Amino acid sequence: MKVNRADDIKLKLVEIIEKLEMNHINPDRIICMRSTGSTSDATARIWSFPKIWQKALDLESHYIIEVLAEKYDDLSEDDKQRTLIHELMHVPKTFSGALVPHKCFGKRIDRRSVEKLFKEFKRKR
């Protein structure tokens, strides 16, 4: 598997964060990567930076959003935006380095919740 920085993804994320007013997300501490050659079924994934690593390395919380080129790059622009919105929804309001699961405290990260934010994003665009 090969992994490279993905500045094009970063630009899309910044636009989504701004339009959806996801003020708890610091885009300067989100790193975007594009991988090729993965055998995963995922289109994209978000990587956390747990507290123990933050303390050990004396760094603030960060997140990595990885898009898997074989699946992500062939999507329509709308589906690319939906995918990135989904990954951003995993970032907790505390921006702690942890991740929000798909089901948490009665809230869900699913097609319906992603679609709601996607429509809001399109409206503000």
3-class DSSP state for residue 44? strand
Q: Does residue 63 contact residue 48 with C-beta atoms inside 8 Å?
A: yes
Question: Global pTM?
Answer: 0.96
What total number of domains does the chain contain?
A: 1
List the domain range (segments joined by +) for residue 51: 2-124
Tallying the residues shown for the chain, one arrives at 125
pLDDT tens column, 5-50: 999 999 999 999 999 999 999 999 999 999 999 999 999 999 999 9
**Please, are residues 7 and 70 in contact by the beta-carbon 8 Å criterion?**
no
Longest dimension (CA), the chain: 43
Say which CATH number the domain at 23 has. 3.30.2010
Residue 98 in contact with residue 92, Cβ under 8 Å?
A: yes
